Amino acid sequence: MKKEFLWGGSISASQAEGAFDLYEKGISTEDLRFYNEKIDRKNVSKDLYMTPEKLKEIIDNQDDYFFPKRRGIDFFNKYEEDIKLFKELGINVLRTSIAWTRLFPNGDENEANIDAINHYKKIFEVFKKNKIKLILSISHLEMPINLITKYGGWKNKKLINFYFNFAKTVIDNFNVYTDQWIPFNELNHSTFFTLGLFENEENYLEKTYQAFHNQFVAACKAIEYGKKQNRNNLFGTMIGYMYSYPKTSDPRNVYKCMNDNWIKNDFFLDIMIKGEYPWYSKKYFLDNKIDIKATKKELALIKNNVHDFISFSYYSTGTTSHQNAEETSGNLFSVGKNEYLDVNEWGWQIDPMGLRIVLNNLYEKYKKPLMITENGIGLIDEVDNQGNIIDDARINYISEHILAMKEAINDGVEVIGYLMWSPIDVVSYSSQEMSKRYGFIYVDANDLGQGTYDRIKKKSFYWFKDFLEKERMNN
């Protein structure tokens, strides 16, 4: 491994910060996601969609719900303690995000909240003091709810300039802390909470791709501005990579699988890395009656402002069949089952070899530096009578995926970083649970926000610390 290789972790503002009522923060989409004690862990995707009626009922009856992300893990107040633990762990980079509604409570204001900006600067100074590099995601799977109720979400081109005002403010104020940026996290995830589209809208699929287009334009406006401010700024596209194998060698399954991987993954990278809509999208749009409203100026902006590196999340894989087949959970969406793979409590199929395949495929197609910005496993962690947390399954998962990454590097793939999700327990994005834990550091809180919120080092903490020390000794 190269000495400058980035070993680290990722968190997001909405899942970690809490402090939802400080500095006049506005309501984001994630502030309205509630904990459901009867959740079907192996089918969380149904909770990612929304109707206007359901949204109104939640807003009008907020006292009837518990909203876990409003408290998060209280990183907003405990950041010094947490960063000290990150330093002890030995990571040299952390990716985090800025809460849009802290800087612009409604999303359409002209001026940003200076108190929130100054608080972020205090946090980032502590990272700088501890020599932990920052990668900043400008928008991480959330948006001000006002931009949905007032403007209709990302299908409205007005959001391009609202986002740009936010992104410009972030770049202007925090460029002294980082030169690596991610305009949108997991750009390919199409849910109400990322695009602001209600599931019962007319022409839903067409509006989804219009929303994606508007995000492409917004991202490229941010890149264009960021490069003018500092030519050393690097921007990475980030998708949630959901790789799929053909269920069988039936050529119909192979063909369907090829098309699914194009549309779910490569479509977004082709636009953000190659700067143009891919050839196969023409048929897909025609078959699905999708008509994107894209101006020549917007397409030129996309062409002239491609991303510098590819970052992606990788958790599990699935299978594809041209016929109905048994499914299981695959992070945010259901995928076909693979009898050769083990699954975790939430139905995720564990596939280290898939990571090696994805890395090789991405590098072969795009020849851009690759960064794994999310890789990890959600587990039920228990504190034993001695106060220890033995999470061997997490150690096994991480170590096997790191080995697969190293094998890809030996294959000739340029990988510049491995950031696990997440160095510390945070509220689950998909299921709103604290009990779905990913971290090397345990946070003493349950699904209803009850607990001391004390931090406890797991067995995996000491394992990863030792692993990083040995890695650096060998370089």
Does residue 88 carry a catalytic annotation? Answer: no
First-to-last CA distance in the chain?
7
State the DSSP H helix or E strand holding residue 170, giving kind and residue range, or none if neither: helix 158-174
Q: Give me the catalytic one of 17, 30, 186, 206.
A: 186
Please report where in the chains the tokens 């259901």 appear, as a residue: 334
Question: Would you say 49 and 192 are in contact if contact means Cβ atoms under 8 Å apart?
Answer: yes
d(CA 91, CA 175): 21
Cα–Cα distance, 171 to 80 (Å, whole number) = 23
Residue in 30, 298, 374, 433 annotated catalytic: 374
Q: From 166, 236, 238, 154, select the one nearest 191 (Cα to Cα).
A: 154
| Nearby residues of 323 by Cβ (< 8 Å), 6 or more positions away | none
Q: How many CB atoms lie within 10 A of CB 345?
A: 15
Neighbouring C-beta atoms of residue 86, cutoff 10 Å: 25
Task: Count Cβ atoms below 10 Å from residue 286 Cβ, excluding itself.
Answer: 10
Kindly provide the b/e burial profile for residues 93-123, where b requires at least 16 CB atoms within 10 angstroms of the residue's own CB: bbbbbbbbbbbbbbbbbeebbeebbebbeeb
CA distances from 423 to 48, 115, 141, 163, 416 (A): 25, 27, 19, 29, 19
186 included as an active-site residue: yes
Which positions are catalytic? Answer: 186, 374
